[in-house]
């Protein structure tokens, strides 16, 4: 079900609950942000207590950096040696759940055995075939990050959704309870995509809400990451706090239910404000058992097709209905009145709507505005009609003609998908 909730180590997460904060503690000197690294159990405990007091709902412990642009892999034995005493101490001392950030089943098993509640697998279960079994056997919660090869011809968010969908299928078919799973789009982990990595990351955050059809709460980790440095020209992660807070707020505004951060004290203010301002999802839970969710401002054609396929709608039918489900409201200014009148009649004839100023009824060639309202299918039909409609009287005056509008609409729709 769209916008479902999950139980993450005993913490309820999802859009029906407050946005949760996950505090990051790294035990790996190789980590890109040295300010997150602690060297011993005592320091890890002190930092964790500070984070919990500042508002952290979960503490995430990592023993090995997995940044894709660094050679940071260590042996399994060393990773276990780093994380085991810290997880054991924090799990026995803190009232919040502990997450283990690892791609290795043997490391996850040790952490769960000494008190961890959540496995945060940045390989999306693809690195170690035993990970599904370990998570299931311990009844742990799971964070799945998008990971794998992408198709450059597809939108970033579509690539991310496909990868996450595959990992979700691996988890669920392996016996992990769906309501214990959260998804992570993997900000900072995609480098070979056909786009600059910072363009990719920005695009994913911009379109985050389109992951909603996976039916899992979304975790986002952007804290101090390199895309912020690339956009703001800040090479040192120490300088990226303000950029991190801005990105975290945008991620929350766009539907994130959990923010993974190095900076709990600062992040909680940005998160709470963005949470208060963000658009509310209109959902009705009827006493009869029906659940209704308004999707008109969330999903695009490709998302609707994927959602229908998930519902087992015939693919041919889904492709036909996809453009009918994406609603468009397009304001056009500078159009001759005579053309505006013609377009209004065309939109009404195909089942769409169009609004023009009241003086447009007097026709003429003066520039005016028109508001086009309809599905993407309506706009596509209108464009087809406009391409063969150029009016001689308008053309002779050198004014914007029907073919100009068709070309402009086509470019606008392409631009809106970037």
Is pLDDT of 264 > 70?
yes
What is the spatial distance between Cα 61 and Cα 400, in angstroms, rounded to a whole number?
A: 60
Is pLDDT of 418 > 70?
no
List of E strands, 294-402: 327-336, 353-355, 367-375
The CA-based angle 407-413-417, given to 5 degrees, is: 145
Q: Looking at residue 209, what is its pLDDT?
A: 93
- The set of catalytic residues is 225, 260
Same domain, residue pair 78 and 222: yes
Task: Residue 169: name the closest of 117, 102, 215, 100 by CA.
Answer: 215
User: Would 313 be classed as within a structural domain?
Assistant: no
Q: Label residue 296 by pLDDT band (50, 70, 90).
A: low
Which are the contacts of 317, defined by CB distance < 8 A and separation ≥ 6? 308
List of E strands, 73-149: 98-101, 118-121, 141-145
User: Would 305 be classed as within a structural domain?
Assistant: no
Q: Looking at residue 94, what is its pLDDT?
A: 97
Q: How far is CA 26 from CA 9, 66, 86, 188, 286, in A?
A: 20, 11, 10, 17, 45
What does pLDDT average to over the chain? 93
Q: Looking at residue 398, what is its pLDDT?
A: 93
Is pLDDT of 409 > 70?
yes
Is pLDDT of 154 > 80?
yes
Q: How many alpha carbons fall within 13 Å on the CB side of residue 223?
A: 27
Same domain, residue pair 198 and 342: no
Report which of residues 296 and 114 the model is more confident about.
114
Same domain, residue pair 90 and 195: yes
Same domain, residue pair 180 and 247: yes
Is pLDDT of 415 > 90?
no
Task: Residue 58: name the closest of 128, 130, 8 by CA.
Answer: 8
Question: What phi, psi does 11 have (nearest 5°)?
Answer: -100, 125
Is pLDDT of 69 > 70?
no
Q: What is the DSSP letter of 155?
A: -
For residue range 300-349, what is the model confidence (pLDDT) as tens digits?
899 999 989 888 999 999 999 999 989 999 999 999 999 999 999 999 99
User: Would 317 be classed as within a structural domain?
Assistant: no
Is pLDDT of 237 > 80?
yes
Same domain, residue pair 398 and 280: no
Question: What phi, psi does 220 have (nearest 5°)?
Answer: -130, 130
User: Would 13 be classed as within a structural domain?
Assistant: yes
Domain end: 248, 275, 293, which one?
A: 293
For residue range 184-233, what is the model confidence (pLDDT) as tens digits?
999 999 998 999 999 999 999 999 999 999 999 999 999 999 999 999 99
User: Would 53 be classed as within a structural domain?
Assistant: yes
Report which of residues 415 and 179 the model is more confident about.
179
Domain at 74, CATH number = 3.20.20.20
Q: How many alpha carbons fall within 13 Å on the CB side of residue 352?
A: 28
Q: How many alpha carbons fall within 13 Å on the CB side of residue 417?
A: 16
For residue range 347-383, what is the model confidence (pLDDT) as tens digits?
999 999 999 999 998 889 999 999 999 999 999 999 9
What is the three-class DSSP state of 247?
helix
Same domain, residue pair 288 and 335: no
User: Would 320 be classed as within a structural domain?
Assistant: no
Q: Looking at residue 413, what is its pLDDT?
A: 86
What is the spatial distance between Cα 128 and Cα 114, in angstroms, rounded to a whole number?
A: 21
User: Would 319 be classed as within a structural domain?
Assistant: no
Same domain, residue pair 286 and 334: no
Domain end: 272, 293, 314, which one?
A: 293
Q: Is 133 exposed, middle or buried (0-12, 13-18, 19+ CB in 10 A)?
A: middle
Mean pLDDT value of segment 155-183: 97
Domain end: 293, 310, 340, which one?
A: 293
Q: Looking at residue 1, what is its pLDDT?
A: 61
Overall domain count for the chain: 2
Both structure tokens of 418? 């970037």
Least confident of 64-73, 74-83, 88-97: 64-73
Same domain, residue pair 22 and 131: yes
Same domain, residue pair 146 and 214: yes
Is pLDDT of 70 > 80?
no
Same domain, residue pair 268 and 170: yes
Domain extent for 338: 326-416
Is pLDDT of 67 > 80?
no
Same domain, residue pair 49 and 121: yes
Q: Looking at residue 29, what is its pLDDT?
A: 82
CB 237 within 8 A of CB 229: yes
Domain at 357, CATH number = 3.30.1370
Same domain, residue pair 356 and 257: no
Q: Label residue 65 by pLDDT band (50, 70, 90).
A: confident
User: Would 321 be classed as within a structural domain?
Assistant: no
Residues of the chain with pLDDT > 70, as a percent, come to 98
For residue range 88-137, what is the model confidence (pLDDT) as tens digits?
999 999 999 999 999 999 999 999 999 999 999 999 999 999 999 999 99
């Amino acid at each position: 079900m769209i916008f479902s909730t999950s139980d993450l180590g005993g913490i309820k997460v999802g859009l029906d609950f407050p946005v949760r904060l996950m505090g990051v503690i790294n035990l790996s000197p190789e980590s890109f942000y040295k300010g997150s690294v602690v060297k011993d159990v005592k320091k890890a405990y002190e930092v964790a207590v500070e984070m919990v007091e500042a508002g952290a709902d979960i503490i995430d412990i990592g023993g090995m950096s997995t940044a894709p642009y660094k050679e940071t892999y260590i042996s399994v034995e060393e990773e276990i040696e780093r994380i085991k005493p810290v997880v054991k101490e924090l799990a026995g001392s803190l009232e919040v759940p502990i997450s283990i950030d690892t791609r290795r089943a043997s490391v996850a098993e040790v952490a769960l055995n000494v008190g961890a509640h959540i496995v945060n697998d940045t390989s999306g279960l693809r690195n170690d075939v035993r990970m599904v079994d370990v998570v299931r056997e311990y009844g742990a919660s799971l964070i799945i990050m998008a990971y794998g090869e992408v198709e450059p011809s597809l939108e970033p968010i579509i690539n991310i959704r496909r990868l996450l969908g595959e990992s979700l299928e691996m988890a669920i078919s392996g016996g992990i309870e769906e309501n214990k799973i959260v998804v992570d789009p993997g900000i900072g982990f995609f480098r070979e995509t056909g786009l600059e990595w910072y363009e990719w990351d920005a695009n994913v955050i911009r379109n985050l809400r389109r992951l909603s059809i996976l039916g899992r709460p979304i975790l986002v980790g952007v804290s101090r990451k390199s895309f912020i440095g690339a956009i703001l020209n800040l090479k040192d992660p120490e300088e990226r706090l303000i950029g991190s807070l801005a990105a975290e707020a945008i991620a929350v505004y766009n539907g994130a239910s959990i923010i993974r951060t190095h900076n709990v004290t600062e992040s909680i203010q940005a998160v709470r404000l963005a949470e208060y301002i963000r658009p509310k999802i209109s959902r009705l839970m009827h006493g009869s058992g029906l659940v209704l969710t308004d999707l008109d401002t969330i999903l695009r054609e490709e998302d609707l097709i994927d959602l229908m396929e998930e519902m087992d709608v015939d693919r041919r039918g889904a492709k036909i209905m996809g453009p009918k489900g994406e609603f468009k409201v397009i304001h056009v200014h500078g159009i001759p009145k005579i053309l505006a009148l013609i377009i209004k009649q065309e939109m009404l004839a195909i089942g769409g709507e169009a609004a023009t100023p009241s003086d447009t009824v007097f026709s003429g060639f003066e520039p005016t505005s028109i508001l086009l309202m309809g599905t993407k299918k309506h706009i596509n039909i209108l464009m087809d009609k406009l391409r063969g409609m150029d009016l001689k009287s308008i053309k002779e005056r050198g004014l914007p003609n029907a073919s100009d509008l068709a070309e402009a609409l086509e470019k606008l729709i392409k631009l809106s998908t970037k």
